Chains A and B, each alone.
Chain A
Amino acid sequence: MSETRPESDVEPADAAAERTKPHRRPSPIGSRPLARPRTSPAALAPNTARSGHATAPVHRVSAIARQRRRVALLALAGLALLAAAMLAGICLGENDLSPARALNALFFGTGDRGDVLLVGRFRTPRVLSAVIAGAGLAVAGAVLQRVARNPLASPDVVGITGGASLGATAAVALGLAAPLTPVAALGGGLCAATVLGLLAVQIDGSQAAPRLKGGISPTRLVLVGLAVQAGLTAAVNLFIVRFPAELASSALHWTTGSLYGRNWNETIIGAVTMTAALTAAFALHRRAAVLDLGDDAAGALGVRPGPARLQLLAVAVVLASLAVALTGPVGFVALAVPHLVHRLAGPPTPGTLALNALAGALLLLTADLVAQHALPLDGLPVGVVTATLGAPFLLALMARQNRPDPRTAR
């Protein structure tokens, strides 16, 4: 697991922050530099970790070591929980199987033929889809929130998953082959991200350079994203009305987010593409860490902020779109997981990025299990469960946005 990877890419960044802005730490609230909005958890993170110990480097090192231990422990716990949830996913259903029977059927193909079919053909792809999509969504959310310096900027809130689901719906409508669905979703996601970027930049005021600056108010971005979402929903509705009823139902799946009826073909395509995209996200992590220091410091460290930011945004969009191509726009995961991980594991490192993937997979899989088994309604799509959980979470986050954050009042 990557939590054991060396974290050398973060430490020089922190050290550079010490060098470049030694006078900023004790500054009063009013004179906080605008380039680093206090609302961003990513920008905030190194400060909170450091604030008490900044004058004693020895303590800092031990703090980093402590965080590493903590991340490793959390990863172990997460892996254990994920394994348990996956096992539950292949055991539970209309016919509950014992774990031994299910595992036998899965790995050795022995036992009852019905079991083998049930586990191998239906339940395993569903479980794997949940894991892949959950990991992708959570990492996409983490990267997006960090780069946009906005704790509310997750692909489902700002409309990227809506665009991807429009692309996927269009692919279904035009009768394209299954392997093309992720491509279409990707196209839709990129289009939505571009529209959002243009609107957000416009909102930013007279910024000459077309780039996402830190100046966009988080709630404003959400409102613009919801507007984009409304337009996209209208487009999907157009398809739903145009289709015959049975196709309309499958189009509706794409607007809600559901793990129902995943097959091996889609799962394998999803797994391969998602692995590539996740690798890219980890490879770019160093740049995200440098960007956290502000554009000037990043330039001094040899990272051009414009292209780096664009690469990271592109990776986030690709991750979210691939997840949508697999499951439809499942909300909440991308928004909530980075916040939970940040609270549990502390400032972002490659290790916490891996934790994000793990927690996202766990959350989506658990939500699907709850939707399938714990609720009295039959065939409830997982997207409904996550949307219901996500709304109060989003509102609570926004409420905290408008209050001065106690952690920043240092």
Chain B
Amino acid sequence: MPDALPTTAATRRRTPARATAVLAVGLAALAVCVALSLALGTRPVPLPTVVDALLGHDTSRDALAVTGIRLPRTVIGLVVGAALGLAGAVCQGVTRNPLASPTTLGVNAGAALAVVTAIHLLGLTRPAEFLPFALAGAALAAVAVFALARGAGDLDPVRLALSGTVLASVLAAWTSAVLLTSEQTLDEARFWLVGSLASRGLDMLAPVAAPLLAGALLAFFVAPALNALSLGDETAAALGVPVARTRLLGGVAVVLLAASAVAVAGPIAFIGLAAPHLVRAVIGPDHRLLLPGCLIGGPVLLLAADVLGRMLLRPTEIEVGIITAFLGAPLLAVLARKAAR
């Protein structure tokens, strides 16, 4: 594969010492977030009990809250955060667009609409059954947004983001329409629909394991080609990278990853937008480093937002999707400011 790093600054950053330091800091941040997610919650549990519960020495109610609720929640947060972060990074690489993410391209909204429709028409209740519908909806939305943005010419970053957001708003309107026709569907879907990590068992991860793994492998497979793609389509083609195939495979990876995340946790906004930017600011634009970095950065952001949501309105909690939307909206505004001509 051609080594197609656009800047020398990024190359300089990749000294072994720095790479080790960055990795150490990232893992430390992740460890802190995991620890906080295990230690903090709406139910106050003393720290020694948390440790005892995790080691399996304690079976009190407090300990059950840790092992039965917080541990699965943290694991799911790790998986979903990694999936969303990775999907966002591939999105931005494939479209060469700093505003791209599963949220801004309408992929999440497509998955959500398909799932809500399925809940309404087929009476699904278990998130394990959501997956095929989420996949179909996400794929359709991805195809639609590219068709919309393509229809008018080349893939201008702002145009693509606008097409995606406009599409997402239409899909959201149709989701509301489905919800409004049935109070029962609304009651079942509303907690899932805002995006939440709460009250989900680890067994929920089993059905999405395969698509998640496939998506991640695809993403890493196209990572070197994404570097070439960042130089522009023509240069990438001159370097021997199959542009169309890279886009297609990247798109498939995004759909697999985002749809799996949505099926488990609902359409959590903006993690896919924020994580790649955070990681890129630290380790530079090389996708071979960026994608693994997002595996750490995504969960860090998601778990931090989740812990924040648990602590803000104690004793009730705010769903993590609402927290990320609040924090992500200004980020989108700032990025829009930078990206537009």
Binding site for B on A (CB under 8 A): 199, 202-203, 217, 219-220, 222-224, 226-231, 233-235, 237-238, 240-241, 245-246, 248-249, 252-253, 255-256, 258, 331, 377-381, 383-384, 387-388, 391, 394-395, 398-399, 402
Contacts and interface: CB of A to CB of B under 8 A. Distances in A.
Interface stretch (B124-132, B288-296, B314-322): B314-322
Contacts, number: 144
A220 B329 contact: no
A217 to B, nearest CB: 6
Given A234-B269, A394-B166, A240 B333 contact: no
B148 interface: yes
Interface stretch (B18-26, B133-141, B176-184): B176-184
Contacts of B36: none
Nearest to B161: A223
B329 A387 contact: no
B341 interface: yes
A230 B269 contact: yes
B165 interface: yes
B194 A240 contact: yes
Interface stretch (B4-12, B55-63, B151-159, B225-233): B151-159
B92 interface: no
A231 B194 contact: no
A219 B183 contact: no
B122 to A, nearest CB: 17
Q: Chain B interface secondary structure, helix, strand, loop or mixed?
A: helix
A70 B158 CA distance: 39
Contacts of A230: 269-270, 325, 328-329, 332
Give 8 closest A-B pairs by Cβ, nearest first.
A234-B325, A231-B329, A387-B173, A223-B336, A227-B332, A227-B333, A399-B152, A245-B187
A394 B333 CA distance: 19
A383 B172 CA distance: 11
12 contacts: A223-B158, A224-B333, A230-B325, A231-B330, A235-B322, A238-B322, A240-B194, A241-B190, A245-B186, A245-B190, A395-B163, A402-B152
B176 A402 contact: no
Contacts of A391: 166-167, 169-170
Interface string B174-210: 1011011101001100110110000000000000000
B340 interface: yes
Q: Chain A interface secondary structure, helix, strand, loop or mixed?
A: helix
Instruction: Bin chain B's interface residue count.
Output: 35 or more
A258 to B, nearest CB: 8
A141 to B, nearest CB: 17
Nearest to A329: B173
A249 B148 contact: no
A227 B179 CA distance: 24
Given A223-B162, A229-B169, A238-B322, A379 B191 contact: no
A379 B328 CA distance: 33
Given A220-B337, A381-B177, A227 B329 contact: yes
Given A223-B336, A377-B177, A383-B173, A217 B341 contact: yes
Interface of B: 99, 148, 151-153, 156, 158-159, 161-163, 165-167, 169-170, 172-174, 176-177, 179-181, 183, 186-187, 190-191, 193-194, 269-270, 318-319, 321-322, 325-326, 328-330, 332-333, 336-337, 340-341
A229 B186 CA distance: 22
A248 to B, nearest CB: 6
A241 B320 CA distance: 12
Nearest to A223: B336
A202 B337 contact: yes
A331 B173 CA distance: 10
A203 B337 contact: yes
Nearest to B191: A241
Contacts of B330: 227, 231
Most buried by B among A230, A248, A249, A391: A230
Nearest to A245: B187
Given A223-B99, A331-B173, 4 more contacts: A203-B337, A248-B186, A249-B183, A258-B180
A378 B158 CA distance: 37
A224 to B, nearest CB: 5
A378 B333 contact: no
Contacts of B176: 252, 255-256, 381, 383-384
Most buried by B among A234, A252, A381: A234
B50 to A, nearest CB: 27
A398 B162 CA distance: 9
A395 B160 CA distance: 10
Contacts of B156: 402
Contact of B180 (A224, A253, A395): A253
B186 to A, nearest CB: 6
B329 A219 contact: no
B194 A220 contact: no
B186 A241 contact: no
Contact of B318 (A238, A252, A379, A395): A238
Contacts of A227: 329-330, 332-333, 336
A327 to B, nearest CB: 14
Contacts of B318: 238
A227 B339 CA distance: 14
A393 to B, nearest CB: 10
Contacts of B158: 219-220, 223
A129 B11 CA distance: 63
